[in-house]
Structure 1
Amino acid sequence: MSDLSYVPPVRFSPLGLQARPVHIKAAAVLLGTLVLAIASQISVPMLPVPMTMQTLAVILIGALYGWRLGALTILAWLGEAALGLPVLTNGSGGLAPFMGPTAGYLASFPFVAALVGWLAERGWNGNRPAFAFAAMLLGHALCLLFGGLWLSTLIGAEKAMLVGVVPFLLGSLVKSGLGAAILMALVRTNKAKRA
């Protein structure tokens, strides 16, 4: 005999933005661009390179907003940067960052948010922290792949790997763990509020 009882699907995000009205989603996009702008200015001293919180914000937006709204939020933030607003690392903005050594990393961000969001929607989220960690690692790997490939066109593959990928591996690991912990805490807080 089969069990026909209905079990509602577990929401992938404690924010539940997928079911919200358009004006709430628009506000979430604006809030996301603000969070990204602030996170881009936060730098933690670390060896071999300082770790910014920019990619942490990108992966969290993907995980919390879902792949569509997450990618849209990142595109809006990149649009703000292209218009000259000081929303990128070190308060930079304008078109120069989109043509220089950081262009590959910046180009990756909408894809990173989409990948992490897509995985979060499929259960790789705060309800399953190990999977959330893996999703965030994959997002960071995609970012480093785009960034390294672009950088290799400017300075060669070997040097790009040495200065544009390897120094960021430890930070990517740390931020993936931190991101998974944040998602898990948000899910637990949300469940406690419902109880």
Structure 2
Amino acid sequence: MSQSEIPTVTPSLSPLRLQERPLLWQVAAIAIGTLLLALSSRIEVPMIPVPITMQTFAVTLVGALYGWRLGALTILAWLGEAAIGMPVLAGGSGGLAPFVGPTAGYLASFPIIAALVGWLVERGWNGDRVFMAFAAMLIGNGLCLVIGALWLAGLVGFEKAVALGVTPFIVGGVLKSALAAATLRLFPRAKTERQAS
């Protein structure tokens, strides 16, 4: 079989197929995504130095549903809203303080994990394979904890960072990953195949 006869499979599209939509649809999706992220920030259990919120649920789900590029762009737009003072982060906070305080590492991880989860979902870790979707969400949540704890360790030391910034979030991360995977299951897979010419 020659190279030109080998079939190739393009990456799966994100479930919402936003990559195929007009620019106006994509802009509207970003606006809706930032609203979802802001609302998820309001669902919180206050803790010091980092509160437990539904943010990682929303971040991973946006990445999964929007695809890695638009998902990451949506997270960046939401963080931009926060940076200019809009009350879209945990506890209705905004401004630059959260980007230099204990939560800065977690915030910095969000576009990365949205892109990672979106990339995995586009390659088949989607709702049709619920355990793989769960694994994608779990990887995203785990990476968030690692990046967040690395930043926090610079402020309070490694042991305290693990005790305060990782351990309390493990069970919640598993539960949010399962919920995000179950939510993703509601959306059909969008896969395209093409033959190489």
* TM-score when normalising by structure 2: 0.86
1:161 maps to 162
Do structure 1's residue 142 and structure 2's residue 146 form an aligned pair?
no
1:179 maps to 180
Amino acid of the residue matched to residue 144 of structure 2? Answer: C
1:193 maps to none
2:22 maps to 21
2:195 maps to none
Which deviations, in whole Å up to 9, do the C-alpha atoms of 1:6-62 show, x marking residues without a partner? 9x97954331111111110011001100110011101369xxx97421110000000
Amino acid of the residue matched to residue 21 of structure 1? Answer: P
Say which structure, 1 or 2, has more relative contact order (CA 8 Å, 6+ apart): 2
Check whether the contact 1:129–1:184 (CA below 8 A) recurs between aligned residues: yes
Instruction: List gaps (5 residues or longer) in structure 1.
Output: 191-195
RMSD: 2.3
**Matched residue of 1:126: which SS?**
coil
Do structure 1's residue 75 and structure 2's residue 76 form an aligned pair?
yes
Check whether the contact 1:126–1:184 (CA below 8 A) recurs between aligned residues: yes
Q: CA deviation at 1:93?
A: 0.2
| 1:80-99 mapped onto 2 (5 Å cutoff) | 80-99=81-100
2:111 maps to 110
Amino acid of the residue matched to residue 41 of structure 2? Answer: S
Which deviations, in whole Å up to 9, do the C-alpha atoms of 1:151-187 show, x marking residues without a partner? 0000000110000001100000000000000010233
Q: CA deviation at 1:136?
A: 0.4
2:40 maps to 39
Q: CA deviation at 1:79?
A: 0.2
How many Å separate the matches in 1 of 2:110 and 2:148?
10
Q: CA deviation at 1:81?
A: 0.1
Check whether the contact 1:108–1:143 (CA below 8 A) recurs between aligned residues: yes
Q: Residues 64, 9 of structure 1: CA spacing in aligned structure 2 closer, same or farther, 3 A cutoff? A: same
**Matched residue of 1:186: which SS?**
coil
Instruction: List gaps (5 residues or longer) in structure 2.
Output: 191-197
Check whether the contact 2:44–2:91 (CA below 8 A) recurs between aligned residues: no
